[in-house]
């Protein structure tokens, strides 16, 4: 349990971050936990796996990749401890393998939509979105990127480093400069923390302003998302919770000490309605947001009674 607790803590503090990486880390964690679990009965095994799963899921509430990964990885049908343990190890490994492959497939499919000379704007640090951008560049397309800083955690700094390593010409801007630069942009590509059954996107705070500015300037808005980022819970109308993080990420509390009328808010994500999204590049192909429900039903294998 100690290793699982350490992973959970790393997810909570964002040492492990990015919806896809969180999912993989959680699947690995539940696999290793199951592999080393010493129990006296099947009942005890069931309880331990259930508790460990809930514990991992509770670390970050928004990225649906996390509960999806934990549920897919920790599935077992056997009533025998050794068999159930084997099933978890297999299912977790299968999930991890699929997640790795998905990034490559998204890169390949999405890069076909990138034209020579495109200026691409991206937000935060999405491995799926970056897979499209770097694949296009490596295949010989002459592209450049405008990357937002993505306050307060400034994941944009990770993005510019990654792009720089590929030699991709990149401009870093502050988040409030998004609309100012939109006229120079051809395409916006962002990642996803969750996609609802109605096709709405949940991604890093500020994503919806990129979408609005792109819509106003008639620029295309592309989302890169593995199928495990679609939210089964939303088919029964459950909303996706937006994570409120510690306000110390925004401002040093000592600067607020004498400001008795001021409060600080730090939502980590926002919603972008489906109507602002031109396409979602997934590991099963490019879909319109209207197909989100089908992805949940057909790819995640979730039935209403599971929710």
Give the residue numbers annotated as catalytic, written as ranges: 124, 193
Backbone angles phi, psi at 59, to 5 degrees: -70, -40
Q: Mask: binding to ligand RI2, 110-129, rule CB under 6 A, as x and -?
A: --------------x-xxx-
Give the residues across from 190 on adjacent strands. 223
Based on the shown chain and the rule CB under 6 A, indicate whether residue 155 belongs to the binding site for ligand RI2: yes
Candidate residues 67, 107, 191, 289; the one interacting with ligand RI2 per rule CB under 6 A: 191
Candidate residues 28, 118, 149, 193; the one interacting with ligand RI2 per rule CB under 6 A: 193
CA-closest candidate to residue 220, choices 277, 274, 142, 141: 277
Measured from the CB of residue 263, what is the shortest distance to ligand RI2 in angstroms? 22
Nearer to ligand RI2, 49 or 69 (CB): 69
Three-state secondary structure along 178-223? HHHHHHHCCEEEECCCEECCCCCEEEECCHHHHHHHHHHCCCEEEE
CA angle 31, 32, 34 (to 5 degrees): 65
Question: Tokens representing 21?
Answer: 């990486």
User: What whole-number distance in Å separates Cα of residue 72 and Cα of residue 156?
Assistant: 31
- Is the torsion defined by CA of 206, 212, 216, 222 positive or negative? positive
Count CB-CB contacts under 10 A for residue 76.
20
Candidate residues 18, 199, 232, 289; the one interacting with ligand RI2 per rule CB under 6 A: 18
Based on the shown chain and the rule CB under 6 A, indicate whether residue 203 belongs to the binding site for ligand RI2: yes
| Sheet with strand 201-204: strands edge to edge | 194-195, 201-204, 269-272
Question: Tokens representing 67?
Answer: 């509960």
Q: Where does this chain touch ligand RI2 (CB under 6 A) — which range of 14-22, 169-177, 212-220, 297-305?
A: 14-22
Q: Where does this chain touch ligand RI2 (CB under 6 A) — which range of 94-102, 132-140, 173-181, 191-199?
A: 191-199
Candidate residues 66, 143, 185, 268; the one interacting with ligand RI2 per rule CB under 6 A: 268
Based on the shown chain and the rule CB under 6 A, indicate whether residue 206 belongs to the binding site for ligand RI2: no
Candidate residues 71, 85, 187, 204; the one interacting with ligand RI2 per rule CB under 6 A: 204
Under rule CB under 6 A, which residues in 60-119 are in contact with ligand RI2?
Answer: none
Measured from the CB of residue 17, what is the shortest distance to ligand RI2 in angstroms? 4
Q: Mask: binding to ligand RI2, 214-253, rule CB under 6 A, as x and -?
A: ----------------------------------------
User: What whole-number distance in Å separates Cα of residue 199 and Cα of residue 95?
Assistant: 23
Task: Catalog residues that contact ligand RI2 under the rule CB under 6 A.
Answer: 17-20, 124, 126-128, 155, 190-193, 203-204, 268
């Amino acid at each position: 349990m100690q290793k699982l607790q350490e992973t959970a803590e790393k997810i909570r503090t964002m040492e492990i971050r990015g919806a896809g990486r969180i999912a993989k880390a959680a699947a690995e964690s539940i696999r290793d936990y199951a592999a080393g679990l010493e129990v006296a009965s099947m009942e005890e095994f069931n309880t331990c796996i259930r508790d460990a799963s809930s514990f991992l899921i509770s670390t970050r509430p928004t990225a649906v990749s996390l509960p999806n990964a934990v549920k897919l990885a920790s599935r077992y049908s056997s009533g025998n401890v050794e068999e159930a343990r084997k099933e978890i190890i297999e299912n977790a490994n299968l999930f991890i393998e699929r997640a790795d492959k998905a990034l490559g497939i998204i890169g390949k499919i999405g890069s076909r939509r990138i034209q020579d000379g495109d200026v691409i704007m991206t937000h935060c640090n999405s491995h799926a979105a970056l897979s499209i951008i770097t694949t296009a560049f490596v295949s010989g397309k002459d592209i450049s990127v405008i990357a937002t800083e993505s306050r307060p955690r400034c994941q944009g700094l990770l993005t510019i480093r990654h792009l720089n390593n590929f030699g991709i010409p990149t401009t870093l801007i502050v988040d409030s400069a998004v609309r100012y630069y939109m006229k120079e942009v051809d395409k916006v590509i962002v990642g996803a923390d969750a996609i609802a059954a109605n096709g709405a996107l949940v991604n890093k705070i500020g994503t919806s302003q990129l979408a609005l500015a792109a819509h106003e300037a008639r620029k295309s808005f592309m989302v890169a998302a593995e199928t495990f980022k679609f939210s089964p819970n939303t088919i029964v109308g459950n909303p996706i919770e937006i994570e409120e993080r510690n306000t110390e990420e925004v401002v040093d509390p000592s600067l607020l000490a004498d400001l008795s009328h001021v409060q600080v808010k730090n939502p980590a994500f926002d919603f972008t309605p489906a109507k602002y999204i031109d396409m979602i590049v997934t590991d099963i192909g490019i879909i319109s947001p209207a197909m989100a429900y089908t992805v949940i039903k057909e790819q995640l294998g979730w039935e209403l009674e599971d929710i």
